[in-house]
Amino acid sequence: MPVKTELKYPIDSVVLAIAMVMLFLWNAMPGICFARDLSPVYEETFDIAAGGASLTRASRYGAALANPALLPFSGSFHRWLGSEFSLHINRESVDMAKAMLPGSSGSGSDSSDFVDHVFEAPFLAGTQTSLAYLNAYGGIGFFSKFEVDLEAQKYGPTGLPTIILNGKSYTGGTVSAAKRVPFLPLSLGLTAKYLMISEPTLAIDLADPNAAAQFQDPSALSGLVNPSRGIGYDMGALLFLQGPRVDWRWALKIDDVGGSSFSGGDSVEDFKQVVSTGASVTFHTGKDAIHIAVDRRDLQNTYGTPAFKSTRAGVKFLLRGYIGFAAGYYDGYPSYGAELDLIFLKLGAASYRRERTASPGLSPRDIYVMNLATGF
Amino acid sequence: MIPLMLVYLAASSCGTSNLGRCPASNPLVACTELTADEKIREALDDQDLASAQVLLEAAIADEPENYERYPLLAAVYAGLSGFNLLAIASSSASSGGGASIMDSMDAFLPTPEGLTRTEYRAKIDLLGQAISTIGALPAEFLATSATDKYASSASQQLGIYQAAQASMYMKMFTTNFSTGLPDPSQLSDLTDEDAAAILTVLADAAASGGAFAEAAASTLATINSGGGTDRDNLANFLST
């Protein structure tokens, strides 16, 4: 996690302002706004720990999807070559696993015990993997994210006990290109992404024997995952004012420029174009840094995003280039985590609470994330 | 400044409450008011049935044509009566056959033990409210063969609540309220009006086509095979 201290280019504030205003105006033109929600298809563990405020600083492959304009300011030509694996699981599921372990008070369990646990607390588990190469001018990457959320309601949507399954399967590849604007502390980046997305939702009324029997056949469950495919483009800009001890960054990001359409499969709703901005300040020495960032997502409120979801803020403490601590504010709740950088091996962990809907406090999930990255 | 703001944000949420909840806990994040349906869902998830009842009754009064709320209110009434919806869901598939309705329902109903007759009667009336709430749905929202999940579920609920009410009604005259044990002497309190009401509910349950329809029909047939008055037939059935 190197920290740059050198100011490369002089600032021409007039030219800079014109560039930014042009970017805003282009975005504000009528007829190009299109949509869904703000759930990221890929998010790095350390960035989650820092509240998800990743527009002005993102880890590894996360930069390509958070803001491709970050790539030129990596401090060197090479940025990242490697793979990552992360496991996401909610706190209640960890407790459930402990209770069901042999020798514990809840051991000797069967599937009915699992259902009983689900009626007590939801079950969430997921994985995220990626393989990528990024440098200061762009890169290529592949990712896959899969998540299952199982919730049982004694009083379900129809009044009777119901098990609700929400799945998310995001797989894709990205190609990014980025470039500094000559003579300006400004970079622009573009990421083209091919996505295969499936978001199956299923509600099983437990009082209805026919509904329950319908899903005892494994093929009925596997048939739920039928991905839709589409191509989208993300565009970003980053203004980077660098000083000997303090850096300032301002980012503008347009997700799914012009909207991203999907076809086939379960007919996932199109991704709307979303404009976001972020600002940060970094206090640093040659080796250590404190990065404080705030993002405001969905400036045009395309998805009707409430403030607690569209506001992300966090702090990253980077010590000696080997250890990082992060804390932030994610979906209206505190988040925190740490990362250990052992040159070719990076271990990370984070804890955060995600609000599954746009209703604050209605359906939160306490999630632990463990991350293993190999590369350099 | 920004770190102080973050600390302030984290401290005001205490890690458990969402900063976006109303009333606003701090001036930095605008709060988001929950809709009526979201407040209902929250009360149901918390199993705060008293609050859910108040919210649902108000929501139905405001929008009587939002029929998705009716089965929810019926389920709340049933829950308030002590009816165990979760247990019945897990065993509904195995019910039916030749078992009497009381045998089928016994495990899911509140026991009269420790209650007064008035208190137990109030629980039966709550099930009656559940039945009438479902009964207020238009026909298209109450169809056993409907593919619409709300209509299908509402129809199932109606049959379950009718069977449960009939069973609770009968239990009132077969159980000692002090001990909770079977007590045939309680049958002396059974009136002609009680018998008529029980047989009417039982007939409705038999006609519902729900999971307990077969048990209700079988019970009704056994009772009516007595050949006497409704009261005598029912008393004979309950005394065996």
Tens digits of per-residue pLDDT, A212-270?
666 666 566 566 678 899 999 999 999 999 899 999 999 999 999 998 988 887 777 88
Could you report the per-residue pLDDT of B21-34, keeping only the tens digit for each?
888 777 777 888 88
Which domain does A145 fall in, by range?
13-375
Rounded to an integer, what distance in angstroms lies between the CA atom of residue B182 and that of residue B165?
18
For residue A358, which residues of chain B lie inside 8 Å, CB to CB? 32
Identify whether A175 is part of a domain: yes
Tokens of A367: 């999630």
Which pLDDT does position A136 carry in this prediction?
92
A179 has a pLDDT exceeding 70: yes
Residues 5-24 on B with a CB inside 8 Å of A are: 5-6, 9-10, 13, 15-21
A8: in domain: no
* pLDDT one-digit tens code per residue, A75-130: 789 999 999 999 999 988 877 777 766 666 555 555 566 666 777 788 899 999 99
Distance, in Å, from the CA atom of B56 to the CA atom of A63, rounded to the nearest integer, reads 47
Checking if the pLDDT of A10 tops 60, the result is: no
Q: Is residue A129 part of a domain?
A: yes
Place A15 in a pLDDT band, splitting at 50, 70 and 90.
very low
Q: Is the CB of residue B155 less than 8 Å away from at least one CB of chain A?
A: no
Q: Give residue A202's pLDDT.
A: 84
- For the segment A29-53, the average pLDDT, to the nearest whole number, is 69
Q: Is the interface score ipTM higher than 0.90? A: no
Q: What is the pLDDT of residue B7?
A: 53
Chain A residues touching residue B19 (CB < 8 angstroms): 308, 329, 332-333, 360
The pLDDT value recorded for residue B194 is 86
Work out the minimum CA distance from B102 to partner chain A, whole angstroms.
Answer: 19
Residue A128 lies in a domain: yes
Distance in angstroms (rounded) separating the CA atoms of residues A28 and A16: 18
Mean per-residue pLDDT of chain B: 81
Question: What are the tens digits of pLDDT across the range A57-72?
Answer: 999 999 999 999 999 9
Is A252 contained in some domain?
yes
Cβ-nearest to A307 among B30, B153, B160: B30
Residue of B29, B105, B145 for testing the chain A interface, max A β-carbons within 10 Å: B29
Of A206, A306, A313, the CB nearest to B32: A306
Q: Is residue A6 in some structural domain?
A: no
Say yes or no for a CB contact (<8 Å) between A207 and B211: yes
* pLDDT > 50? residue A14: no
Domain for residue A3, yes or no? no
Q: Does B74 touch chain A (CB under 8 A)?
A: yes
| pLDDT attached to residue A24 | 43
pLDDT-derived band of residue A176, with 50, 70 and 90 as boundaries?
A: very high
CATH number at residue A361: 2.40.160.40
Distance from CA of B90 to the nearest CA of A (A): 7
Identify the three-state secondary structure at position A129: strand
Residue A5 lies in a domain: no
- Long-range CB pairs of B10-14 (<8 Å, 24+ gap) are B10/A327, B10/A329, B10/A334, B13/A332, B13/A333, B13/A334
Q: Is residue B96 scored above 50 in pLDDT?
A: no
Looking at the complex, does the CB of residue B144 fall below 8 Å from at least one CB of chain A?
no
**A160/B153 Cβ within 8 A:** yes
Q: What is the mean pLDDT of chain A?
A: 83
Q: Return the residue matching tokens 């944000």.
A: B9
Query: Scanning every residue of chain B, which has its alpha carbon at the shortest distance from the alpha carbon of A279?
Result: B2
State the average pLDDT over residues B69-92.
82
Which tens digits make up the pLDDT trace of B150-177? 667 788 888 888 888 888 888 888 888 8
Per the structure, how many domains does chain A have?
1
